[in-house]
């Protein structure tokens, strides 16, 4: 047996064993969660980051928690309380501490699940996250794109649509809180997790292309629901495949309405109120505005979404990164010290063993929630890309975690570290209340006086782009469950939740949608691991053709001449 095969077998066994080993303790704890407040966080863990804490909002798209609110009367209050009970039970599973044998550290189940999957795919695919990076750049630039290939959007448009769903408020808010809680060392592990997550994106998006269905009207149906149902049926597991596909679709729809919609409106509204005070008194105006501009885009399907995303994503990333680079340039002499702190504190945190695990988990958790590698959502967007080779689109997809986490999130982290905002006593209240966007705004505002206005603009773009892409994810899952003719019903429901996001303040309702996004990782990673052999065969064949010269760059001028 080859060493790599042995490693993969152990990783696969570990991934299957984790849920089995934790099922009994979680079920034993669940009833208590319904009748009592969850226990306090483990030693050394900030309440704002502790799973199940009152201030916690365990989300994939943003980690900035909502402030505590008074109990609401009537129907909304009943829904809020019901969601709170459900959230406690779900959180008990997703955030179950797999290091239950020690009080020195906390390692949530969902983080371990995502990390094990990322490591498995990285080893299985011979570190495609590194060796495929250069080719991915060339493909996105259109060097291998033939406009006659079957699909709805280009490689760049598919990448932009997927990025618009992941590059969001969490890149601003979540990272600032992660560094404040875990220290500069969390940035190091965040980058490591982002690099590993590139392999997860490659595997799931390759499968999205491989098992996609081209409808008679030219529209594409692809994503985890397709490869889970079809792929596992080919493996002799039709019932398991269908169960996982239905589970994924339901979770995705719930996530699209909550974390990918109402939560984005609610959080961006809070940021906009800082520069537009009248929205505090009349939030419905913002909700109506967002509903209209979202509706204009989503009714056009993936083509219109991709057209908007390819313009918004470079703009929003460019504006934010340029602002961060300007501050770094002003503090150029402090950069080496900041990098030194990030590396040294990643391995030698003051709290010893528990502190080391805490810093590592904080970094991995931030990256996992930010880039959604392993959740399977991006496979829906990439399945619509024009390409004759499924692996080619998978290679394009591996750029997402790099851009989202290694570039954008790291920019935020460096600014927070260099300005010292993460341990500034004046900002302690922002950290304790998980107001990451405000923390980032104040840190940057110290050097760029008008930055709060820049941040408001960036937050608006981040929220809007996330919403239009998640509308497509939810719409495809809805169509897979109920048929294409029913998609207008979903779109109307999505737009309703856009407006509700500006006027409801029920933390539990919004948190429920975010938990759905996290839950998508469980059926998705299990299925992708079972189908990883298919991906490896496709990759081996494609790479051999690429190296032999059989696959060449597309030359439009040569084709026109022929």
Cα–Cα nearest to 370, from 102, 200, 541, 173: 173
Domain assignment present for residue 7? The answer is: no
> Would you state the pLDDT for residue 404?
82
Amino acid 562: pLDDT: 36
Domain that holds residue 482: 115-542
How many other β-carbons are positioned within 10 Å of the β-carbon of residue 493? 15
**Is 558 a domain residue?**
no
Q: b/e string for 406-444 if b means 16 or more Cβ within 10 A?
A: bbbbbbbbbbbbbbebbebeebeebbebbbbbbbbbbbb
| Most confident of the ranges 141-145, 399-403, 426-430, 499-503 | 399-403
pLDDT tens sequence across 401-454: 888 888 888 888 888 888 887 777 877 777 766 666 677 777 777 777 777 777
pTM: 0.79
In a domain, 52, yes or no: no
pLDDT of residue 130: 92
pLDDT tens column, 12-50: 556 555 555 544 444 444 444 333 333 333 333 333 333
**In 10 A of CB 43, how many CB atoms?**
12
Q: Among 30-44, 178-192, 512-526, whose mean pLDDT is lowest? A: 30-44
Percent of the chain at pLDDT > 70 equals: 72
pLDDT above 50 (res 559): no
Residue 56 has pLDDT above 70, yes or no: no
What pLDDT is stored for residue 248 in this prediction?
92
Residue 27 forms part of a structural domain: no
Residue 58, pLDDT > 60, answer no
- In a domain, residue 550? The reply is no
Give the tens place of pLDDT for each residue, 293-311: 888 877 776 666 767 777 7
Structurally, the chain folds into a number of domains equal to 1
CATH number at residue 228: 1.20.1740
Maximum CA extent, the chain: 74
- Nearest 10 degrees: Cα torsion 483, 487, 490, 492: -150
The answer to the question of residue 472 being in a domain is yes
221 secondary structure, DSSP code: E
Let me know if residue 157 belongs to a domain: yes
Q: What mean pLDDT, rounded, does the chain reach?
A: 75
Residue 291 belongs to a domain: yes
The pLDDT of residue 80: 64
pLDDT of the residue at 43: 31
Listed residue (199, 209, 224, 236) closest to 115, CA to CA: 199
Which pLDDT band holds residue 199 (cuts at 50, 70, 90)?
very high
């Amino acid at each position: 047996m080859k060493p790599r095969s042995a490693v993969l077998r152990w990783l696969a066994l570990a991934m299957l064993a984790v849920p089995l080993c934790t099922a009994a303790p979680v079920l034993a704890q669940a009833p208590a969660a319904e009748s009592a407040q969850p226990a306090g966080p483990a030693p050394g863990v900030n309440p704002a980051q502790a799973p199940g804490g009152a201030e916690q909002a365990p989300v994939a798209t943003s980690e900035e928690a909502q402030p505590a609110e008074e109990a609401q009367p009537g129907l909304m209050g009943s829904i809020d309380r019901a969601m709170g009970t459900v959230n406690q039970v779900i959180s008990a599973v997703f955030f179950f501490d797999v290091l239950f044998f020690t009080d020195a550290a906390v390692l949530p189940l969902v983080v371990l699940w995502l990390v094990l999957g990322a490591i498995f795919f990285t080893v299985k695919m011979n570190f495609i996250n590194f060796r495929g990076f250069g080719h991915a750049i060339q493909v996105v630039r259109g060097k291998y794109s033939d406009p006659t290939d079957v699909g709805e959007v280009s490689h760049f448009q598919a990448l932009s649509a997927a990025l618009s769903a992941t590059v969001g408020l969490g890149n601003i808010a979540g990272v600032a809180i992660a560094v404040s809680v875990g220290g500069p060392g969390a940035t190091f592990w965040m980058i490591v997790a982002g690099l590993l997550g590139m392999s997860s994106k490659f595997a799931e998006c390759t499968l999205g292309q491989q098992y996609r269905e081209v409808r008679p009207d030219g529209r594409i149906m692809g994503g985890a629901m397709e490869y889970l149902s079809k792929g596992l049926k080919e493996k002799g597991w039709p019932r398991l495949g269908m169960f996982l596909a239905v589970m994924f679709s339901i979770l995705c729809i719930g996530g699209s309405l909550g974390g990918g919609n109402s939560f984005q409106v609610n959080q961006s509204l809070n940021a906009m109120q800082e520069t537009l005070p009248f929205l505090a008194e009349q939030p419905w105006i913002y909700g109506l505005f967002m509903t209209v501009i979202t509706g204009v885009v989503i009714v056009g399907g993936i083509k219109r979404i991709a057209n908007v995303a390819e313009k918004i994503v470079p703009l929003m990333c460019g504006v934010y990164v340029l602002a961060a680079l300007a501050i770094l340039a002003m503090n150029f002499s402090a950069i080496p010290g900041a990098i030194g702190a990030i590396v040294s504190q990643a391995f030698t945190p003051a709290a010893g063993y528990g502190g080391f695990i805490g810093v590592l988990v904080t970094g991995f958790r931030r990256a996992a929630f930010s880039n959604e590698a392993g959740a399977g959502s991006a496979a829906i967007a990439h399945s619509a890309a024009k390409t004759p080779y499924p692996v080619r689109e998978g290679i394009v997809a591996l750029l997402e975690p790099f851009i989202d986490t290694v570039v954008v999130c790291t920019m935020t982290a460096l600014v927070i570290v260099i300005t010292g905002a993460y341990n500034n006593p004046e900002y302690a209240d922002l950290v304790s209340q998980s107001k990451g966007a405000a923390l980032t705004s104040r840190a940057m505002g110290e050097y760029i006086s008008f930055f709060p206005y820049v941040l408001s603009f960036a937050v608006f773009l981040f929220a809007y782009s996330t919403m239009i892409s998640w509308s497509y994810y939810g719409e495809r899952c809805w169509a897979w469950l109920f048929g294409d003719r029913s998609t207008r019903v979903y779109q109307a429901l999505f737009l309703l939740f856009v407006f509700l996001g500006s006027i409801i303040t029920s933390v539990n309702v919004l948190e429920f949608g975010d938990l759905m996004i996290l839950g998508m990782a469980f059926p998705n990673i299990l299925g992708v691991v079972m189908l990883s052999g298919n991906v490896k065969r496709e990759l081996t064949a494609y790479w051999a053709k690429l190296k032999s010269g059989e696959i060449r760059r597309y030359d439009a001028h040569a084709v026109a001449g022929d």
